[in-house]
């Protein structure tokens, strides 16, 4: 039964274009890896380390948290201010 269900799911994915999506994702990834911003990121990782590079990259976006039980109040750096 498990084998039959797996075959059904795989066939459905194929019909939805899973192989085409995988090919497009691989092509897009290859393109993105050669952009100037990607090369700069790789250089920054090599010189400053991964943590510093990611912190620098993510700084403009704040902490990424969201509030669903209260209005979102954020400080000047974009960090969510806990209402409690």
Give the number of domains in the chain.
2
Examine the domain organization and report whether 58 and 77 are in the same domain: yes
Q: Is 44 exposed, middle or buried (0-12, 13-18, 19+ CB in 10 A)?
A: middle
Give CA–CA dist 69/8, Å, rounded: 40
Per the CB < 8 A criterion, the answer to whether 54 and 72 are in contact is: no
Examine the domain organization and report whether 30 and 48 are in the same domain: no
Instruction: Specify the pLDDT at position 72.
Output: 84
Examine the domain organization and report whether 72 and 39 are in the same domain: yes
The pLDDT tens digits of the residues spanning 22-57 come to: 999 999 999 999 999 999 999 999 999 999 999 999
Examine the domain organization and report whether 5 and 27 are in the same domain: yes
The pLDDT tens digits of the residues spanning 73-82 come to: 888 888 888 7
* Those residues with Cβ within 8 angstroms of residue 74's Cβ, 6 or more apart along the chain or in another chain: 62, 80, 81
Examine the domain organization and report whether 28 and 48 are in the same domain: no
Q: Which domain holds residue 41?
A: 35-84
Examine the domain organization and report whether 62 and 39 are in the same domain: yes
Confidence category of residue 83, pLDDT binned at 50, 70, 90:
low
Examine the domain organization and report whether 39 and 5 are in the same domain: no
Examine the domain organization and report whether 10 and 49 are in the same domain: no
List Cα–Cα distances, 71 to 7, 44, 79, 82, 83, in angstroms: 46, 36, 13, 10, 9
Examine the domain organization and report whether 43 and 66 are in the same domain: yes
In whole numbers, what is the pLDDT of the chain averaged over residues? 89
């Amino acid at each position: 039964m498990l084998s039959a269900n797996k075959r059904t799911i795989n066939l459905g994915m194929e019909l939805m274009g899973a192989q085409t999506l995988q090919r497009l994702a691989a092509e897009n990834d290859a393109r993105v890896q050669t952009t100037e911003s990607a090369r700069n990121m790789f250089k920054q990782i090599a010189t400053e380390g991964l943590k510093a590079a990611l912190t620098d990259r993510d700084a403009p976006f704040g902490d990424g948290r969201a509030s669903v039980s209260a209005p979102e109040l954020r400080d000047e750096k974009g960090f969510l201010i806990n209402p409690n």
